Amino acid sequence: MEPTTLLTASNIITAYDQSTILWGVNLSVLQGTVTTVMGRNGVGKTTLLKTIMGLQKAREGQVTFKGEHITNLAPYKIARAGIGYVPQGREIIPKLTVQENLQLGLEATPDYKPRMAEEEIYTLFPILKEFRRRAGGNLSGGQQQQLAIARTLISGPALLLLDEPTEGLQPSIAIEIGDILRQLVTTKGMAVLLVEQKIDFAKHVTDYFYFMERGKMVKEGNAATFDFNELQEHIAV
C-alpha cells in the first residue's frame, strides 16, 4: 500500500515586508516517516515551519494537511487540525513545573483534554516523570527539549514540526531524542518534519531529505540514496 501523504506545501512564497524569504517551496511529508529539511543558517527553514503553522503568512502557494487546505489559517486552528510545533529554543516556561509545562500543551485542544495520556507521555520520557515537580528551568538542555516535545504530544498531533531540536545538545543526548522520534513514527504512525543542521543526527532519524538553499528546495531524496558528501560541502561552509 502506498503511504498516505499527510502534508503538502506547494509553491510557497513567504516574505517579511519587502524581503522575500521563501521563493516557491515544494515539500511533502508522508505518514509514518521522518522528513528532514537541511540547509545553512538563514536559508528560510524556520520561516517554512512558521508558514506551515500559520505563524507567518504565505503570500502565495498552498499548504494541505490531510487533504484539507490550511494555508494561512490561525495557528490554533492548525494545531487543532493535528499539527504540533516545537519551536527552536524550546520555549518552555522556566518557573512552571514540568507537569505544569506539559499541561500548557492542552491549549492546542478544543476541550482542554489530553489526546495522549500523561502516563503514556511519561512512559516515553521517564525522566520527566521523575522530575515532574521540578521547575522546568532546572532541567538540562536535553530534558527541556524532551519537555518541549512532550508538551506538544499531549494534544495528540498527527504531524510534529521540530525546529533544530538538537541545538546545543551533546551528540549522545541528541541520539536519545532521535530514538524517541523514531518510536513516535514507528509505534504511533505519526509523522515528523524536522529542521536540522547536524548531518549525523539527521541520518540517524530521517527517511526522506530535502536540502534548501536561498528559499528553495534544491535537492531531495530517500535517506538511503541521498548524497551526503555533496550536502556536507554545502552545509559545512
Ligand X SMILES: Nc1ncnc2c1ncn2[C@@H]1O[C@H](COP(=O)(O)OP(=O)(O)OP(=O)(O)O)[C@@H](O)[C@H]1O
- Number of residues forming the site for ligand X (CB under 6 A): 11
54 in contact with ligand X (CB under 6 A): no
Comparing CB distances to ligand X, the nearer of 21 and 70 is 21
Q: Is 47 in the site for ligand X (CB under 6 A)?
A: yes
Closest CB to ligand X among residues 34, 52: 52
Residue 6 beta carbon to ligand X: minimum distance, rounded to whole angstroms: 22
Q: 3-class SS at 32?
A: coil
Q: Which stretch binds ligand X (CB under 6 A): 5-13, 14-22, 75-83, 224-232?
A: 14-22
Choose the binding region for ligand X from 41-49, 74-82, 140-148, 168-176 (rule: CB under 6 A): 41-49
Q: What is the chain's percent helix, strand, coil content, to nearest 5?
A: 40, 30, 35
Please report, for residues 13, 215, 231, the alpha-carbon distance to residue 23 in angstroms, rounded to integers and kept in the order given: 5, 5, 20
Asked if 45 touches ligand X (CB under 6 A), the answer is: yes
Q: DSSP E strands: which ranges in the chain? A: 5-16, 19-30, 34-38, 58-65, 68-69, 83-86, 159-163, 191-196, 208-213, 216-222
| Residue with cell string 504512525 | 189
Measure CA of the first residue to CA of the last residue in the chain; give whole Å: 41
Which one of 3, 4, 11, 42 is in contact with ligand X (CB under 6 A)? 42
Site string for ligand X, 18-37 (x = CB under 6 A): -x-x----------------
Residues that bind ligand X (CB under 6 A): 16, 19, 21, 39, 41-47
